[in-house]
Amino acid sequence: MKVAALVSGGVDSSVVVHLLKEQGITPDIFYIRIGMEDEEGYIDCPAEEDIEITQWIAHHYGCRFEEVNLHKEYWDNVVSYTIESVRQGLTPNPDVMCNKLIKFGAFDDRRGKDYDRIATGHYAQIENLKLKIENPSGAAACSPLSTLHSPLVTFLATAVDPVKDQTDFLSQLEYRQIVKLMFPIGGMMKSEVREIAARAGLPSATRKDSQGICFLGKINYNDFIRRYLGEREGKIVELETGKVLGTHKGYWFHTIGQRKGLYLSGGPWFVVRKDIEENVLYVSQGYDPKEQYGDRITLMGFHALAPMELPLPMEVKFKIRHTPEFHPGMLRATGDGLVEIESGEPIQGIAAGQYATIYDNDAHLVLATGMIC
């Protein structure tokens, strides 16, 4: 089996190579180099140390190493998507699009197509299950709970470590992408991964986890937005009273549900609405204002990850942001081509543009996804 391992120089992807070698697999190692390039110049993601460690891993384990430059693809797909979403007042998720369009999109088109599997350091799992046909003579109402005479179906499943689970970042992948993936550390806690790295003497054993927009790298999000959208002063207004509480530097720096970064006294204050035309932020005070919460979430672009029909309406678990917690809800079609989640509890900070990830009722299998509208 030919395996391509995507290695970033961090501890997670480094341990992936170690585990593959223990299984008798010698992967080819790829470092994906990306950045942001436009008419004003070039912003690079500092990668020298990452590449040095990745090359060390390749040499140590006797793997072939190749650097793949996807700068242009990253700009055309992820950066432009992020800028345009923010300009429209939406809350984008560049990590989701980076996984779909770069790691498992452009890379697969360029090099991954030559391999049977692509291994990464994501905290997720792959499960192959048989489907139970609830109503064989009618509409296919499928439940991945049985081993009746049905074909195996590959599911994206949550990681053992609930805090590190990254299935929400992978939820926009297509089925053809999912069936090629390997997540060797998905069955481990983060602490176990670091212990393996330390025992193996890997140089990434004590490296901090990276954060930021540059492939989870080094660029500050607000600096990135400021570069392309600039600053424009606007009012911060209390929703209930219309009182002007302060000013901000542009609605594009703020998201629905945001609490930090408003610099208002007498808080807590939460962003509950944005007026895009007038560049006004509306905020509400307190931990439980009515305007801050909602229990119905409408999704567009809804699709199931596995080739199965979901028996709507159905009880599910779901997430609308990257947290360890799941929410219970009822998933149903609205009749206008959209899908709605009726949450079993009030949800704070429902932001248009973000992605909702739908799980089975055990909060284990990823069933579907859609963009909040």
Could you confirm whether 98 is annotated as catalytic?
Answer: yes
Q: Which residues of 208-223 are buried (b: 16+ CB within 10 A; e: fewer)?
A: eeeeebbbbbebeeee
Rounded CA gap, 220 and 214, in Å? Answer: 9
- Extract the tokens encoding 368: 């579907």
Q: What angle do CA 320, 355, 267 make, to 5 degrees?
A: 45
Residue 4: how many other CB atoms lie within 10 Å: 26
Q: Decide if 257 contacts 350 (C-beta within 8 A).
A: yes
How far apart CA 304 and CA 152 sit, in angstroms, is 16
The reply to whether 63 belongs to the active site is no
**Helices (runs of H) and strands (runs of E) counted in the chain:** 9, 21
Which residue is catalytic, options 45, 63, 98, 142?
A: 98
DSSP assignment of 237-260: EETTT--EEEEES-GGG--TT--T
Give the CA distances from residue 4 to residues 7, 26, 175, 220, in Å, rounded to whole numbers and listed in that order.
9, 9, 18, 30
Given 45, 63, 142, 214, the catalytic residue: 214
Q: Kindly state the tokens that stand for 186.
A: 């998905």
Active-site positions read: 98, 214
